[in-house]
Structure 1
Amino acid sequence: MRILVTGGTGFLGNPLCQDLGGSGARLVVLSRRPDRVRDRCGLGVTAITSFSELPSSLAFDAVINLAGEPIVGPRWTEARKKLLWDSRVELTRSLVDYIDRADVRPNVLISGSTVGFYGDRGDCILDETSGYADGFVHRLCAAWEAAALRAADFGVRVCIVRTGMVLAATGGFLAPLLPLFRLGLGARIGSGEQWMSWIHSRDYVAVIRRLIDAPDMSGVFNATAPNPVTNRQFTEILSRLLRRPAFLAVPAGVLRVLMGREMSSLLLGGQRVLPARLLAAGFRFRYPELEMALRDTLSQMPGILGVPP
């Protein structure tokens, strides 16, 4: 099987490429840093920097589109918003244009999105059919998804994967929290009642592999564990596993000053998302509960949970 991956050296793409390559897939990875591709994705991976490097005669069985600048980072100035938009929406449009030109189109395009599509919906239980609260992240995700769904016009099966917070030993949202929690400075954010929809990295990879192999699966899928938690619950479980107190709270006003009102809404708001379509298709999560997922993730980190460095 030959697979084209965008964002293959990133937080989500790296373990996915390692898994697919280890299973014998022939990978082509689009990256702005082709020198990093073989180190991160495997020696047998082909690196490209532009779709123009791909001949129209080269046939792919699947295309996986995960490229995008990190949403949490520098303040959302207009320049930063444009970078976030271009790295997702414009790149996806270019990818679909390449698919349109190809002599043989792929069987499936799997394209990323996030549960931020739904906006801050409070305690509402959300599935793939739910509505949304408007905001920059929703508009970004909606345009990103629409750009990918255009490939369906060419007869390509399209799967949109709205991903929650991914737990992984290699980084992600957990990495900046651990030093604080290990010092006993872990803190809930704002009220702590906002919902966090999450998924273990191994389950995320399993979701993508399932979508590659299942010709009857298309459309939008929530890639989240079936048991979301509140920020307060997350803080309590993580601090208990690390055997550290977590009595502090980060006031909402402080976050708004430090991060700006729009970006701080990512942490102060939340989504209570269920993977309804995956569950209906019979997908079984290896890590359905947060405590077992966190315990497994932390056990892979040297020096954490008693594991020697």
Structure 2
Amino acid sequence: MRILIAGSSGFLGSRLVAHLTDEGHEMLRLVRREPRGPGEVRWNPSAGELDRAVLAGVDAVVNLAGAGVGDRRWTDAYKSLIRSSRVDTTSTLARAVAALPAADRPRVLLNSSAVGWYGDTGDERVEEDAPAGEGYLADVCRVWEAATGPAENAGVRVVRLRTGYPLHRDGGFIQPQLLPFKAGIGGRFGSGRQWVPWISLHDWLWAVSFLLDRDDLAGPVNLVGPAPVTNAEFTDVFAAQLHRPAILPIPAFGLRIVLGEFAIEALSSARVLPGVLSGAGFEFRHRTLPEAMRAAFPEP
């Protein structure tokens, strides 16, 4: 396939480009700076600018663009950036795809979303048919996913990737916690009873490949492992992997002091299951958290 990707420089995007290239696909990357090579094309999603000619001969579009949710403290300005960086990129791509003649449109748009769609679900098990929850991230996910509408209405297969927490030592959910855990001062968040929807990086990458190929799958797809765990269980497995104790729980009020409003999301519970992937026969390589955690720290 010839695949156009946005968000290729991030933790997931850079690894997905390498993975799909290894699979034999031709990758074309959208960048906001001056292109540095023939595989890059400049765009300006904040202004809705994308030359539709870029889409000529493209079989699939993958959009992973968006400012990191946990990268900074949530000021009003940063919350606005979190939202606009997702909605603007999605809207620009979806409208460009829809504006093409039917015969020239990519067959599929895989657009990033998040398990934040569900909000705080407590102990309830949720799959893709669950409605949007409440809270800031749920609201962001709602408008983010809605921005794919023009492409879907034009008859393009649209898959919304509701990603959980991909696990790898170099980024995502694990990397920010490495230092305190290695120092022996890591611990569960709050009560530790909240559910954590993890997925191994390997399974996330292969799930994207799976969804690119499956013409019968569309709509929301939870990219999470089949066995969610509580934050307390996650903490124990993480600490064991690092051979460190985890005896200092971080109280909810402490998280609120350090993280501000983002602490509400960090303490929320999402017992999300991969209903679509499991029903479609996707084979997870890492079905349990200990397996995924070992894979997150590959031997040098």
Which TM bucket (shorter chain)? Answer: over 0.9
Residue of structure 2 equivalent to 1:268? 267
Q: Which runs of 5+ in 1 are unaligned?
A: 39-43, 303-309
User: Separation in 2 of the partners of 1:236 and 1:33?
Assistant: 43
After superposition, where does 1:1-309 map in structure 2 within 5 Å?
A: 1-33=1-33, 45-50=39-44, 52-55=50-53, 58-103=56-101, 104-260=104-260, 262-300=261-299, 302=300
Q: Equivalent residue for 1:41?
A: none
Q: Which runs of no fewer than 5 residues in structure 2 stay unpaired?
A: none
CA distance in 2, matches of 1:164, 1:33: 29
SS of corresponding position for 2:50: helix
Cα deviation for residue 79 of structure 1 reads 1.2
* Shift in alpha-carbon separation, 1:57–1:17, aligned structure 2, 3 A: closer
The alpha-carbon deviation at position 24 of structure 1 amounts to 2.2
**Shift, 1:296, TM fit:** 1.6
Tell me the TM-score normalised to structure 2 length.
0.93
- Aligned-partner Cα distance in 1 for 2:220–2:176: 30
Q: Please say which of residues 206-215 and 73-82 is displaced more in the overlay.
A: 73-82
Task: Write the distance in 2 (CA, Å) between the matches of 1:34 and 1:16.
Answer: 22
* TM-score normalised by the chain length of structure 1: 0.90
* SS of equivalent residue, structure 1 residue 188: coil
Q: Cα 1:54–1:150, aligned 2, differ >3 Å: closer, same or farther?
A: closer
Q: 1:136: how far off? A: 0.9
Give the Cα separation in 2 of the matches to 1:278 and 1:153.
24
**Structure-2 change in CA distance of 1:52 and 1:276 (3 Å):** closer
Q: What CA distance in whole angstroms lies between the structure 1 residues aligned with 2:123 and 2:274?
A: 16
Matched residues in 2 for 1:85 and 1:183: separation? 34
1:92-146 Cα deviation digits (max 9, x unpaired): 1111111122241100000010001101111111111113431110010011111
Task: Please give the root-mean-square deviation of Cα atoms over the aligned residues, in Å.
Answer: 1.7
Q: CA deviation at 1:82?
A: 1.4
Tell whether the 8 Å contact from 1:56 to 1:101 is kept in structure 2 after alignment.
Answer: no
SS of 1:90's partner is: helix
SS at match of 2:188: strand
Give 1:8 deviation, angstroms.
Answer: 0.9
3-state DSSP of counterpart to 2:173: helix
Q: How far apart are the structure 1 equivalents of 2:294 and 2:27? A: 32
SS at match of 1:189: coil
